[in-house]
Amino acid sequence: AQSVTQLGSHVSVSEGALVLLRCNYSSSVPPYLFWYVQYPNQGLQLLLKYTSAATLVKGINGFEAEFKKSETSFHLTKPSAHMSDAAEYFCAVNSGGSNYKLTFGKGTLLTVNP
Amino acid sequence: GAVVSQHPSWVICKSGTSVKIECRSLDFQATTMFWYRQFPKQSLMLMATSNEGSKATYEQGVEKDKFLINHASLTLSTLTVTSAHPEDSSFYICSARSVIQETQYFGPGTRLLVL
């Protein structure tokens, strides 16, 4: 079984401040982990993914995430928030298997204040 | 690369009618596509997994006769909401799995409103 917990349904930061969105996972096998971003009334866009290569993963728009097996975490960070980063962010896990299903967290809404 | 389209982007229909939503992978082949439903301010709920050339696998609680899925080619899957009712109003999102990149790529979603 696999599951994802995103701590904080809403995170608010000032423009230029550090962004930290938390994600913890549960998986019985080495997982693949993903962060997706969703803008209002749109589908999901892949930000970055971890697939058992380097533990520090760099994605688009200046985001990165670090896979920490000991903490079962995959937190998303960005050094300096931009107004355009305001969106809903979803962490997802895939524990392999023939069905390739993703299990999503409940999402974190990021607001960026000027 | 890895673009997924959905059509239509929004649809309004009367109660009792059927609505078909198309999901296409534009620049890659997808042996597996997924259909999700998303309620306002909530996460995505997986409805079914669609495999090319075989029957879809539905998640528990999803009526297969209500939500008909067809995956006739490596680039196209369709979801038909049969005899739609107001409670079927939602945002439906598909994704297509890229075998090469081991990643699901998502369509832009279809907003369905049943009156």
**pLDDT truncated to tens, each residue of chain B (115 aa)?**
689 999 999 999 999 999 999 999 998 888 899 999 998 888 889 999 998 888 899 999 999 999 999 988 889 999 999 999 999 999 999 999 887 777 889 999 999 999 9
pLDDT at position B48: 94
The answer to whether residues A90 and A35 touch, using CB atoms and an 8 Å cutoff, is yes
d(CA B88, nearest CA chain A) in Å = 17
Average pLDDT (A33-57) is 90
The answer to whether residues B32 and B23 touch, using CB atoms and an 8 Å cutoff, is no
pLDDT at position A98: 55
B93 vs A: CB within 8 A: yes
Of chain A, the percentage scoring pLDDT greater than 90 comes to: 74
How is residue B108 written in tokens? Answer: 């832009």
What are the C-alpha distances in Å from A95 to residues A26, A46, B37, B47? Answer: 9, 18, 21, 18
A34 and B43 in contact by Cβ < 8 A?
no
User: B42 phi and psi, to 5 degrees?
Assistant: -125, 170
Considering only residues A30 and A78, tell me which one the structure prediction assigns the higher pLDDT.
A78
Option in B93, B97, B103 nearest A43 (CB): B93
Beta-strand relationship, B57-58 and B67-73: unpaired
DSSP B9: S
Q: Report the alpha-carbon distance of residue B5 to residue B25 in Å, rounded.
A: 6
User: A61 phi and psi, to 5 degrees?
Assistant: 60, 25
pLDDT for residue A43 is more than 80: yes
Q: Report the alpha-carbon distance of residue B22 to residue A63 in Å, rounded.
A: 32
How is residue A61 written in tokens? Answer: 């728009």
The answer to whether residues B62 and B80 touch, using CB atoms and an 8 Å cutoff, is no
Interface of A with B in 53-112 (CB under 8 A): 90, 99-102, 104-107
B34 vs A: CB within 8 A: yes
Residue A70 amino acid letter: S
How is residue A79 written in tokens? Answer: 């050094």
Sequence-ordered list of residues with C-beta below 8 angstroms from that of B99, at least 6 positions apart, any chain: B29, B30, B31
Residue A113's pLDDT band (cuts 50, 70, 90):
very high
DSSP A114: -
d(CA B108, nearest CA chain A) in Å = 4
Query: Which has the closest alpha carbon to A77: A57, A106, A93?
Result: A57
Helices (H), chain A: none
